[in-house]
């Protein structure tokens, strides 16, 4: 349990989280969250918060959202048993297949929900940011679906390593804006999108892609992504014969992980989030925020961030563009502080090896982000034989081929190969 919380406080906050009472009226998840934004953006956030309160759980909004999830996104996504991984690992391995959703990742759940909200709030255009490109693709597709123009901000480094997704965004009618400032990755893209939003806060809707940032975004994204865990929970009961012993998800900003974990918080299930361990433990060598970070404010939220002793936010490294972020969603910070979720990391090499094994064993090319969760799940299975394991397969790996071609496939011996 974190030193940030006393035991009784942690217990009370976790109980409130399980009851759905967080964030509170100030947008706080215990000590984390809130809204730290320039005065020029306060009206925009207040307008968004009012719109979320009015529409998000309104019956007509939910009916439209659920209809699009079913007819356009392709939900429910499958729960897939992994027989060869199960045999090899000595466990009972199940995959929640967000890679099968329209556009190839969990990002579409949030994107279509916010695009519908933007339309209802009278926005004239939408802006978004992206790291791995999947949120950009999802935003472009969702905006095309509801008939709103879309501009996507993307770090120049990420544009190079995610070139296929850049082309997809353009073909879906979006403008892709290269961000050359800062670290030229996701953090810089978010900064640039926020600067653009300030120029026209009423006409522009900012479609944030993860459960990060100022209130109400962490709450809004969690609510839209919770469909993952809601489906997975029921599917495990129906298809696997019961709930899993443990659930794994990769964590960058944390939207797919909170979407899987939140509906499972009240169950007797071990929850493990897996961050990017990169190439080492030093600042700048990884993106393992919860493992090595400290409390601070980043892009509107008080959370755990990677910073030096002077409070300067540090650049990160991960082979996966979607995990390459210097912070994490405030709800994840709380779940770590209460001890409800354990956060660990997997290195670049471990993620690559896990991706190869999944491809050869189950015929699934997963995203490099998700590969971190597979690597950690395999290590868990070695120490806990016979457990029923659920892995959130957050996206497919087609987008990662430009990166993967730099690492030639190695011949490996897999169970049954």
pLDDT tens digit sequence for 142-190:
999 999 999 999 999 989 988 889 999 999 999 999 999 988 888 899 8
Q: Which pLDDT value is given to residue 162?
A: 85
DSSP string, 253-304: S-HHHHHHHGGGTTSS-EEEEEEEEET-SSTTS-B-HHHH-EEEEETTEEEE
Alpha-carbon span 329 to 140, nearest angstrom: 23
Check pLDDT > 50 for residue 415.
no
**Fold classified for 27-70+107-222:** Rossmann fold (3.40.50)
Q: Which pLDDT value is given to residue 4?
A: 78
Catalytic annotation, pick one of 96, 345, 394, 399: 394
Strand-pairing partners, residue 271, are 247, 341
Catalytic annotation, pick one of 64, 129, 275, 356: 129
- Does 383 qualify as catalytic in the annotation? no
Three-state DSSP state, 114? helix
Catalytic annotation, pick one of 64, 86, 107, 270: 107
Percent of the chain scoring above 90 in pLDDT: 88
Same fold, 27-70+107-222 and 75-105+226-404: yes
Q: Which pLDDT value is given to residue 417?
A: 41
Q: If you average pLDDT over residues 207-227, what whole number do you get?
A: 97
Sequence spans of domains, the chain: 27-70+107-222, 75-105+226-404
Class of domain 75-105+226-404: alpha beta
Alpha-carbon span 326 to 126, nearest angstrom: 25
Alpha-carbon span 366 to 9, nearest angstrom: 39
Q: If you average pLDDT over residues 380-394, what whole number do you get?
A: 98
Local confidence band at 413 (pLDDT 50, 70, 90 cut-offs): very low
Q: Which pLDDT value is given to residue 408?
A: 82
Q: If you average pLDDT over residues 80-90, what whole number do you get?
A: 98
| Centroid of chain to Cα 20 | 20
Q: Which pLDDT value is given to residue 207?
A: 98
- Does 378 qualify as catalytic in the annotation? no
Q: Give which of 393, 396, 395 is closest to 96, Cα–Cα.
A: 393
Task: Look over the chain and give the mean of its residue pLDDT values, rounded to a whole number.
Answer: 95
Q: Which pLDDT value is given to residue 404?
A: 93
- Does 394 qualify as catalytic in the annotation? yes
């Amino acid at each position: 349990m974190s030193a940030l919380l006393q035991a009784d406080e942690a217990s009370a906050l976790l109980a409130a989280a399980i009851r759905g009472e967080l964030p509170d009226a100030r947008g706080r998840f215990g000590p984390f969250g809130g809204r730290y934004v320039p005065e020029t953006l306060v009206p925009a956030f207040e307008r968004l918060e009012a719109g979320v309160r009015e529409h998000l759980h309104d019956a007509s909004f939910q009916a439209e959202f659920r209809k699009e999830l079913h007819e356009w996104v392709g939900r429910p996504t499958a729960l897939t048993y992994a027989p060869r991984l199960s045999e090899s690992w000595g466990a009972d391995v199940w995959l929640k297949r967000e890679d099968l959703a329209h556009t190839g990742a969990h990002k579409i759940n949030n994107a279509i929900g916010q695009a519908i909200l933007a339309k209802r709030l009278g926005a004239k255009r939408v802006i978004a940011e992206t790291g791995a490109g999947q949120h950009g693709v999802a935003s472009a597709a969702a905006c095309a679906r509801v008939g709103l123009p879309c501009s996507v901000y993307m770090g120049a480094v990420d544009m190079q390593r995610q070139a296929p997704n850049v082309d997809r965004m353009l073909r879906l009618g979006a403008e892709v804006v290269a961000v050359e400032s800062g670290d030229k990755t996701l953090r810089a893209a978010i900064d640039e999108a926020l600067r653009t939003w300030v120029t026209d806060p009423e006409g522009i809707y900012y479609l944030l892609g993860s459960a990060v940032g100022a209130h109400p975004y962490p709450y809004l994204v969690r609510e839209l992504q919770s469909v993952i865990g809601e489906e997975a929970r029921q599917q495990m009961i129906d298809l696997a014969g019961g709930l899993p012993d443990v659930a794994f998800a990769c964590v960058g900003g944390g939207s797919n992980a909170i979407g899987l974990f939140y509906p499972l918080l009240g169950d007797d299930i071990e929850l493990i989030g897996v961050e990017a361990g990169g190439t080492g433990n030093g600042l700048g060598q990884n993106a393992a925020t919860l493992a090595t970070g400290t409390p601070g404010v980043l892009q509107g939220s008080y959370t755990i961030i990677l910073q030096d002793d002077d409070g300067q936010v540090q650049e990160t490294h991960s082979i996966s563009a979607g995990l390459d972020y210097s912070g994490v969603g405030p709800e994840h910070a709380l779940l770590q502080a209460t001890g409800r979720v354990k956060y660990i990391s997997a290195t670049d090499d471990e993620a690559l090896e896990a991706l190869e094994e999944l491809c050869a064993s189950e015929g699934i090319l997963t995203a490099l982000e998700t590969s971190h969760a597979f690597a950690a799940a395999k290590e868990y299975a070695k120490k806990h034989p016979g457990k029923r394991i659920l892995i959130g397969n957050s996206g497919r790996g087609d987008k990662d081929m430009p990166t993967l071609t730099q690492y030639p496939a190695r011949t490996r011996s897999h169970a049954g190969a």
